[in-house]
Amino acid sequence: MDLDPAEPWAVREGPLDLSQLERTESLLALSNGRLGVRGGLDEGAPEGAPGTYLSGAYEVWPMTHPEYSYGYPRVQDRIVGVPDATRVELFVEGERFDVRTGELHEHDRTLDLRSGTLRRTVRWTSPTGVTVRIRSERLVPLEHPRLMAVDYRVKVLDAPHDRADQGIHVEVRSAAVASEELHDPVTQARRTGGSLRQRTDGSGQAIAVVVEHDVTGPADTAVRTHALPQRVVTTADTRLSVGSELRVVKCAALGWADKDARADLLDELRADLDVGVRAGWEGLAAEQRRVVGEFWEHADVRVEGDEDLQQAVRFALFHVLQATAQAADRGIPAKGLTGTGYDGHTFWDTEVFVLPMLNHVRPAAAAAALRWRHAMLPAARERAAELGLAGATFPWRTITGRECSGYWPAGTAAVHLNADIADAAVRHLAATGDEELAREVVTDLVVETARTWGVLGREDDEGRFHVDGVTGPDEYSALVDDNAYTNLMAQANLRAALDLVRRFPDRAAALGVDDEEVATWERLADAVHVPRAADGMHLPHARSGAHLRWDFEGTSPQQYPLADHFPYFSLYRRQVAKQVDLVLAMHLRPDAFTPEEKRRAFDYCEGVTVRDSSLSASTQAVVAAEVGHLGLAEDYVHEAAFVDLHDLRDSTADGLHIASLAGAWSALVAGYGGMRDADGRLAFTPRLPAGLTELCFRTLHRGSCLEVRITRQEATYTVVSGGPVDTCHHGEEFTVEQGSPRTLRIEPLPEQPRPAQPKGRDPRELRRR
């Protein structure tokens, strides 16, 4: 990708690099949370790993275990590619346009972060000497979950005289192509469009696409459609004089249906398609620009002093918007719909990293994600019963609500997921004050997850409550006792349940909550044990201080990620962290630590955390800024924001890291802005690093929009819309009202000595890549 110079509102591919196609297909992907299209070339060749995906369209694969044990999942759900409706092929005087033939004078693709479209401009001379300019633009409407559209234009710029006199024969073939992962294609043609239908095998879904075209060209342009065994092709055939143009606008509707709704699928898609056809390209594009513009009104984070970071942050936020816009009754996959990484599964990433951003810039999307978790409660209750637990146990990775993790220590044992979901639900309630959602969704999620802890944990002779044999966020320390993060989040889960059953006694009664259960929650919450070393420093888990440190000096850069080069048997017995664990607890449960405890624990964790996960950097940025390591925070902010633009994990080809991209927002807003949102109120401790001169962001809070503008010396708080906002600046409480901004001084915090990371894992090394 050509990122130099950085553009504030666009990401430009620049000169075409065929060796980077898989990566650019991810970076230039378009999605609306229900339909996703990777950024492949219009003509389909050359290609990297192209794909079109529908949220919830999946196949079932048998999961085999060499040594099966009770409770292991027997099947796994995996996302599948669906028919490709992006294909547009061009023939000039019989020569197929291909970037590898003829002479390519210009090739530019731009992801426009304000229009929400992918634009392409090509100038190409065919082997027969005809020069054409191709302009195409692709969009996946954020307001129409099943639609996509392509505007394809070809103009003859120059041609040999003997050919130009009679006009240049130009043929555009627009196709919907069957997926190789699906079965039994059935095609049907109409004059200017058609349909293609396939099916999955194990999941029993019908998947279909219907397409329609609007062709503008010379009067003698012929348009016809053929239904072939594997594709439906609409051809626009004409002769163009030099300077004239042929335009083909394709609109497509894609969707899936389960066994009970298969018969109605094509009719439903045709109804959706009619909406797109009536709007036309101009209508869809104008609506897309409006919707994206409304998003930026609340979500934009303006960064002064670092143009590269400005571009990266907007790129990150745009892709989070795309991943979540129409995810109303589906999970938010870790890769969104930009690739097949993690098999299209949803993890804890959603609740811990994505929802905090959505709560404050797009709360309706956060509510939709919580409603999806609520819809999965029946499966979670079944899973809890299978494991001998109470309440509900949510799956570590899933599409349909069933557990798809075959590695028990890093999946089922990571029970913190239950508390993560409860925490996300409570934070959403605090940010929005949505009493209806609290009654219908939040109370159920929090109560059913709270019930798990009474069975998972134990009380010792001194009355302390312990949770043994679990895996925290750090997957290099599995099946440990008293993981600090898990215990503290369990405590928050129990206390939230106590609060909600008292606020909604009718809902509590419907869930079967009685006085004895309430008393148990209260006792356990007050007795939660958090492990400490002999000198009082917090520990990640009960035995972490007793383990030998990993041999970081003897580990080469090529041996990271460690899990790809060393057995878990070795990793589990050493002091080494894949990603933040205790540090994440300090971010989400700041009330459980004093400032000095945070500094000591953070410095210790820095020395053993290798960041083999993209989830780590954003949280390290937040806590580093809080404890006075602004320079280190700056490095971590860049790592989170550039994870995909610079392919820091060498895995962008499989799809983007949606949680890390959302984490870039947290790194700036909760890190430099110092925003905390506990207990239904906002608080800020803003400070900027040396590399920035100004930071400005907006946050939605209980119906009001608060803008925060931070410079090195002061912070200004302005209510953009809504009622007054009670907040806090470096411990000073105040109220901001519309028309009366408040500007307060920022007292500098002395920069603390920079803690050392394991050899070769200093974030400055990744930043230089």
Which pLDDT tens digit goes with each residue over 358-402?
Answer: 999 999 999 999 999 999 999 999 999 999 999 999 999 999 999
Of the candidates 113, 120, 153, the one whose C-alpha atom is nearest the C-alpha of residue 138 is 120
Strand 103-112, strand 117-125: pairing: antiparallel
Q: Does the structure show a pLDDT above 90 at 748?
A: no
Terminal Cα-to-Cα distance of the chain (whole angstroms) = 14
Q: What are phi and psi of 738, to 5 degrees?
A: -55, 135
588 CB contacts (<8 Å, ≥6 apart)? 352, 423, 488, 489, 492
- Residue spans in the chain of domains classed CATH 1.50.10.10: 332-636
Of residues 323 and 66, the one with the higher pLDDT is 323
- Average pLDDT in the 16-33 region? 97
Q: Which residue has the higher pLDDT, 165 or 23?
A: 23
Residue 475 bears catalytic tag: yes
CATH 2.70.98.40 residue spans of the chain: 10-296
State the Cα–Cα distance between residues 631 and 730, nearest whole angstrom.
Answer: 20
Annotated binding residues: 348-349, 578-579
Please give the pLDDT value at position 228: 97
Per-residue pLDDT, averaged over 553-577, amounts to 96
Tens digit of pLDDT for each residue in 505-555?
A: 999 999 999 999 999 999 999 999 999 999 999 999 999 989 999 999 999
What pLDDT does 715 receive? 98
Write the burial class of residue 158 (CB in 10 Å: 0-12 exposed, 13-18 middle, 19+ buried).
middle
Q: Residue 75: beta bridge partners?
A: 62
332-636: CATH topology is Glycosyltransferase (1.50.10)
Distance from C-alpha of 335 to C-alpha of 550, rounded to nearest angstrom: 31
**Does residue 327 surpass a pLDDT of 80?**
no
Q: Distance between CA 669 and CA 689 in Å, rounded?
A: 13
Predicted local confidence at residue 767, as pLDDT: 64
Q: Which amino acid is at 71?
A: G
- Classify 742 as helix, strand or coil: strand
Whole-angstrom distance, CA of residue 281 vs CA of residue 598: 54
Residue type, 40: G
Q: Give the DSSP letter of residue 613.
A: S
Q: What is the pLDDT of residue 3?
A: 66
Collapsed DSSP state (helix, strand, coil) of residue 525:
helix
- Above 90 in pLDDT, residue 166? no
Q: Specify the pLDDT at position 2.
A: 67
Which residues make up each annotated binding site for substrate? 348-349, 578-579
Q: Do residues 327 and 368 make contact, with C-beta atoms less than 8 angstroms apart?
A: yes
pTM exceeds 0.95? yes
pLDDT per position as a tens digit, 624-649:
999 999 999 999 999 999 999 999 99
pLDDT tops 90 at residue 695:
yes
Is the per-residue pLDDT at 769 higher than 60?
A: no
Name the CATH superfamily housing domain 10-296: Glycoside hydrolase, family 65, N-terminal domain (2.70.98.40)
The percent of residues above 90 in pLDDT, for the chain, comes to: 94
Burial class (CB in 10 A: 0-12, 13-18, 19+), 86: buried
The C-alpha angle with vertex 215 and arms to 213 and 217, in degrees rounded to 5, equals 170
Among the listed residues 475, 517, 606, 639, the single catalytic one is 475
Q: Tens digits of per-residue pLDDT, 115-161? A: 999 999 999 999 999 999 999 999 999 999 999 999 999 999 999 98
Query: Which pLDDT score is estimated for 502?
Result: 97
Alpha-carbon gap, residue 103 to 456, rounded angstroms: 67
Residue among 614, 1, 612, 29 nearest 340 (CA): 29
For tokens 């959706």, name the residue: 272
